[in-house]
Structure 1
Amino acid sequence: MKKQEENIKFYETNYDIIGQWFLRPTDKMVLGDMANRVCRFCGKAKPYVTFKKFAHAIPELLGNKSIENAYECDTCNEEFGKGIENDLGNWSKPMRTLIRIRGKTGVPTLKKGGDKPGWRIEYDQTKLNITSYENDPIFEMDEEKKLVTFKLRRDPYTPVAVLKAFMKIGLTLLPDKEVGNFSGLMAWVREKDHSKLYLSQCPVIYTFRPGPMPNDLIVACVLRRRQNITGFPYAFIVLGYGNEVFQVPLPSDNHDGQISGQSIMMLPFPVPGHPDSAFYGEPMCDILNWMDNQVKKGDIATIQMGYESSVPVELPHASQDGQSMA
Structure 2
Amino acid sequence: MKNYLKEGEPFYMFRMDNGLNFLTQIDITHAALQLQEKKANKEKDSIWNEYKDAIETLLKDYELSVLGSDNINIGKETDDRVCRFCGKTKAGGATFKKVAHAISEALGNKTLKCTEECDQCNARLADVEDNLSVGYLGIRRSILGIKGKGGVKSVGGQNFVLDAKKHQMILSEKTLIEDLGKQLKIKLEGRELFTMQGLYKALVKVVIDLVDGELLRHFRNTIQWINDKLVAEEFPPIRQYYSESIYAQPLIEIYIRQSIDDIEKGPYCFANLFVCDLILQFVVPFVDVDKGMMKSADMVAPYWDKMAVLLSMYNMQSEFIDCSSNEERTAWVELVYDKSDIKQADSSGKVSDNLKMLPPKWTVDNVEFPKFDPAIILSKEMHTIELMDVNDKVEVDEAWAHDTSNNIRSSFILDEEHNKVFIELSIEICNTDNTEHLLSCCVRAEFKIKDLGVVFANENNGQFSILKDFVIYTTVLALIELNRVIQPKFPIINLLKLDAENLCSHYRFGLKE
- TM-score of the two chains, using structure 2 as the length reference: 0.51
Residues 316 and 18 (structure 1), Cα distance of their counterparts in 2 relative to 1, 3 Å cut: closer
Offset at 1:218?
1.8
Distance 1:317 1:217 in 2: 32
Q: In structure 1, how many angstroms separate the alpha carbons of the residues matched to 2:74 and 2:343?
A: 50
C-alpha deviation, 1:313, in angstroms: 6.3
Mapped contact 2:170–2:344 kept (Cα < 8 A) = no
Partner of 2:347: 320
Asked if residue 304 in structure 1 is aligned to residue 335 in structure 2, the reply is yes
Q: Secondary structure at the match of 1:130?
A: strand
SS of residue matched to 1:167: helix
Instruction: Give the superposition deviation at 1:198.
Output: 3.4
Match of 2:121? 76
The residue number in structure 2 matching 1:278 is none
Q: Quote the Cα distance in structure 2 between the aligned partners of 1:145 and 1:72.
A: 49
Which residue does 1:277 correspond to in 2?
none
Change (3 A) 1:316 1:55: closer
- How far apart in 1 are the matches of 2:342 and 2:189? 19
Q: What is the SS of the residue equivalent to 1:163?
A: helix
Q: 2:171 aligns with which of 114, 132, 138?
A: 132
Alignment-derived partner of residue 479 in structure 2 = none
| Equivalent pair of 2:101/2:114 in contact (CA under 8 Å) | yes
Q: 1:76 to 1:140 in 2, by over 3 A?
A: same
Question: Counterpart in 1 of 2:40?
Answer: none
1:141-180 aligned within 5 A: 142-143=179-180, 148-180=185-217
Whether 1:221 and 2:258 are equivalent positions in the alignment is no
- Per the alignment, residue 280 of structure 2 pairs with 246
Structure 1 residues not aligned, in runs of 5+: 275-281
Q: Which moved more, 1:41-50 or 1:221-230?
A: 221-230
State how far apart, in whole Å, the 2-side matches of 1:142 and 1:28 are: 45
CA separation in 1, counterparts of 2:345 and 2:72? 52
Preserved CA contact (<8 Å) 1:19 1:173: no
1:191-210, aligned counterparts within 5 Å?
191=228, 197-198=231-232, 200-210=234-244
Q: Is 1:64 aligned to 2:98, yes or no?
A: no
Picking from 38, 48, 67, the partner of 2:82 is 38
Choose from 120, 135, 148 the match for 1:90.
135
When the two structures are aligned, how many residues end up with a matched partner? Answer: 294
Checking the alignment, whether the CA contact within 8 Å between 1:154 and 1:301 is kept in structure 2 is no
Contact 2:156–2:190 (8 Å) recurs in 1: no
Greater shift, 57-66 or 103-112, is seen at: 103-112
Question: 2: CA distance between counterparts of 1:323 and 1:206?
Answer: 31
Question: Could you tell me which residue of structure 1 aligns to residue 506 of structure 2?
Answer: none
Assess, with a 3 A threshold, how the Cα gap between structure 1 residues 314 and 78 changes in structure 2: closer, same or farther: closer
**Relative to structure 1, is the Cα distance of residues 198 and 209 closer, same or farther in structure 2, using a 3 angstrom cutoff?**
same
Q: CA deviation at 1:174?
A: 0.7
1:17 alignment partner, SS class: strand
Largest Rg, 1 or 2:
2
Task: Give SS of 1:171's match.
Answer: helix
On the 8 A contact 1:8/1:270 being kept in 2, the answer is no
Paired residue type of 2:170: T
TM-fit CA distance, 1:156 = 1.1
Q: Give a deviation string over 1:45-96, Cα, whole Å, max 9, x none.
A: 0132111111111111211111211100111101011x21122221221111
Q: Structure 1 residues 219-228 or 30-39, which shifts more?
A: 219-228
Other-structure match for 1:108 = 153
Shift of 1:252: 4.7
Shift of 1:180: 0.7
Residue 230 of structure 1, CA deviation? 3.4
Q: How far, CA to CA, are the matches of 2:84 and 2:234 in structure 1?
A: 25
RMSD: 3.4
Aligned-pair distance for 1:323?
A: 9.4
Say if 1:199 and 1:248 are closer, same or farther in 2 by CA, change over 3 A.
farther
Match of 2:97 in 1: 52
Structure with the largest fraction of strand: 2
Give the CA deviation at 1:302: 3.1
1:218 is paired with a residue whose SS is: strand
Aligned-partner residue type, residue 286 of structure 1: E
**Structure 2 residue corresponding to 1:294, chosen from 313, 327, 336:** 327
Sequence identity percentage: 22
Counterpart of 1:230 in structure 2 is: 263
Amino acid at match of 2:161: R
Shift in Å, 1:146: 5.3
Shift of 1:44: 0.7
Instruction: State the shift of 1:112 in Å.
Output: 4.4
In structure 2, relative to structure 1, the CA distance for the partners of 1:103 and 1:4 (3 Å cut) is farther
CA distance in 1, matches of 2:86, 2:153: 31
Contact 1:94 1:154 in 2 (8 A): no
Cross-structure match for 1:270: 310
Change beyond 3 A, Cα 1:273–1:139: farther
- Specify whether residues 131 and 248 from structure 1 end up closer, same or farther in structure 2 by C-alpha distance, changes over 3 A only: same
Structure with a larger share of its residues in helix: 2
The yes-or-no answer on 1:28 pairing with 2:71 is yes
Query: Is the contact between residue 16 and residue 223 of structure 1 (CA under 8 Å) also seen in structure 2?
Result: yes
TM-score, normalization by structure 1: 0.77
Higher relative contact order (Cα pairs below 8 Å, separated by 6+ residues)? 1
User: AA paired with 2:258?
Assistant: R
5+ unaligned residues in a row in structure 2: which ranges? 1-43, 353-513
CA deviation profile, 1:262-303 (whole Å, cap 9, x unmatched): 5332123533888xxxxxxx411111111101222xx35132
Give the ranges of 4+ consecutive aligned residues of structure 1 lying more than 6 Å apart after TM superposition: 1-8, 312-318, 321-324
User: What CA deviation, in whole Å up to 9, does each residue of 1:13-71 have, x standing for no partner?
Assistant: 13423421133xxx532111212421111111013211111111111121111121110
- Matched residue type, 2:123: E
Match of 1:120 in 2: 161
